[in-house]
């Protein structure tokens, strides 16, 4: 029972977004700062050579890094804090041994699978974003939302600045790291983070028969499920309240109140279960 409650909480959190300004989780729209902006990739069909490069949104450029490999740089005056890029695209893999430095773990119904962007004909430009070596170095935060991986701008990113991503508290919890909020997630290179993947309980191929992007089925009990509403994306072509960037934009988010209500419902359900259990002793 406790395990089901924990998973229900995890699924509720999967439906929440985070405001970088007021430092609170929400649904639909932050009460103080409104709906965040989703930056859309340039549409490119699947299995196209160099699809990853072709999917790059306006305002970004891929270049070689002095340390080797490639990176992504901002070419517009500023990317506002709180803007969200994604989702991260690639092949779905179920074997830990097949993970690469282009892999991110995704939690679904108590187990995990990986999104691997090694193949640039099946992935997006996000494969080229370098991982920061320390928390202080990063300007993007990786997180899971509705069964997919996104990057959120954790600070203003000015023209000429390289985009650097790393995990925050949200993704640490996705991996089951129960660490204090002041813990610095300084894992260094991506290979070190991959070591954390070793202890994850992976999905089986049978359990992946349904599309992994679907969030219509949950293991939450019937008291929790109605609290999770399906998200209908709406599009806008300008960044309201921010410097114009030339990006295509997608609006959408979540509400902290529903999350709190969900947790309260779970607690009430557990108390009811315990009362029933003791009454039968």
The CATH number that applies at residue 181 is 2.170.270.10
Claim: this prediction has a pTM higher than 0.85: no
In this predicted structure, what is the pLDDT of residue 176? 76
Domain carrying residue 73: 32-221+230-253
Kindly indicate the confidence band of residue 74, based on its pLDDT and cuts at 50, 70 and 90. Answer: very high
**Is position 122 within any domain?**
yes
Whether the pLDDT of residue 66 is over 80: the answer is yes
Q: Find which of 7-11, 15-19, 207-211 is predicted with most confidence, using mean pLDDT.
A: 15-19
In-domain check, residue 16: no
Judge contact between 248 and 39, C-beta under 8 A: yes
- Residue 269, sorted as left (phi over 0), alpha (psi -120 to 50) or beta, turns out to be alpha
Tell me what pLDDT residue 201 has. 80
Residue 169 is predicted with a pLDDT of 77
Nearest C-alpha neighbor of 100 from the set 84, 116, 85, 89: 116
Q: Is residue 275 included in any domain, yes or no? A: no
Instruction: Tell me which residue has tokens 């965040």.
Output: 36
Burial class of residue 226 (count of CB atoms within 10 Å of its CB; 0-12, 13-18, 19+): exposed
Is residue 185 a part of any domain in this protein?
A: yes
Query: Are residues 64 and 46 in contact, defined by beta-carbon separation less than 8 angstroms?
Result: no
Judge whether 37 and 249 are in contact, CB under 8 Å: yes
Q: Which residue has the higher pLDDT, 143 or 275?
A: 143
The answer to whether residue 258 sits within a structural domain is no
Q: Report the number of distinct structural domains present in the chain.
A: 1
pLDDT at residue 209 above 70?
Answer: no
Phi, psi of 140 (to 5 degrees): -125, 145
The answer to whether position 165 is within a domain reads yes
Distances (CA, A) of 263 to 12, 31, 82, 87, 228: 9, 20, 26, 27, 12
pLDDT score recorded for residue 135: 76
Question: Is the pLDDT reported for residue 24 higher than 90?
Answer: no
* Residue 123 pLDDT greater than 70, yes or no: yes
Give the helix/strand (H/E) hosting 274: helix 256-279
Region 123-129: what's the mean pLDDT?
Answer: 97
The answer to whether 30 and 254 are in contact (CB under 8 A) is no
For the cut 50, the answer to whether the pLDDT of residue 219 exceeds it is no
Task: List the structure tokens of 253.
Answer: 């988010």
Structure tokens given for 143: 């997180």
- Rounded-to-integer distance, Cα 165 and Cα 251, Å: 22
Express each pLDDT in 161-192 by its tens digit: 999 998 877 887 888 765 444 444 444 456 56
Q: What is the per-residue DSSP string for 165-202?
A: EEE-HHHHHHTT----TT------SHHHHHHHGGGS-B
Tell the burial category of 278 from Cβ atoms under 10 Å away from its Cβ (0-12, 13-18, 19+). Answer: exposed
Which has the higher per-residue pLDDT, 6 or 15?
15
234-264 per-position pLDDT tens digit: 223 333 333 334 454 443 333 444 555 566 6
The answer to whether residue 6 is domain-embedded is no
Query: Is the predicted pLDDT of residue 125 greater than 80, yes or no?
Result: yes
CB-based contact 130:65 (threshold 8 Å): yes
Residue 19 lies in a domain: no
């Amino acid at each position: 029972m406790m395990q089901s409650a924990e998973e229900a909480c995890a699924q509720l959190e999967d439906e929440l977004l985070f405001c970088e300004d007021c430092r609170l989780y929400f649904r639909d729209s932050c009460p103080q700062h409104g709906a965040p902006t989703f930056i859309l990739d340039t549409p490119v069909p699947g299995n196209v050579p160099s699809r990853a490069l072709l999917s790059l949104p306006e305002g970004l450029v891929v270049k070689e890094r002095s340390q080797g490999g490639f990176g992504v740089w901002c070419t517009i005056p500023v990317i506002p804090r709180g803007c969200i890029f994604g989702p991260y695209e690639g092949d779905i893999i179920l074997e830990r041994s097949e993970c690469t430095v282009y892999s991110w773990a995704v939690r679904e119904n108590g187990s995990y699978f990986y999104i691997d962007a090694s193949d640039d004909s099946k992935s997006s430009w996000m494969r080229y974003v370098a991982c920061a070596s320390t928390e202080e170095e990063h300007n993007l935060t990786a997180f899971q939302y509705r069964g997919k991986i996104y990057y959120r701008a954790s600070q203003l990113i000015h023209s000429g600045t390289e985009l650097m991503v790393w995990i925050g508290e949200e993704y640490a919890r996705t991996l089951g790291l129960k660490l204090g909020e002041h813990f610095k997630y300084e894992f260094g290179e991506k290979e070190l983070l991959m070591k954390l993947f070793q202890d994850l309980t992976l999905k089986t191929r049978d359990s992946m028969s349904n599309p992994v992007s679907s969030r219509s089925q949950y293991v939450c009990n019937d008291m929790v499920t109605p609290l999770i509403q399906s998200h209908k994306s709406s599009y806008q072509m300008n960044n309201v309240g921010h410097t114009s960037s030339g990006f295509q934009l997608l609006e959408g988010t979540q509400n902290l109140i529903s999350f709190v209500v969900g947790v309260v419902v779970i607690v009430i359900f557990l108390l009811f279960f315990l009362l029933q259990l003791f009454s039968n002793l």
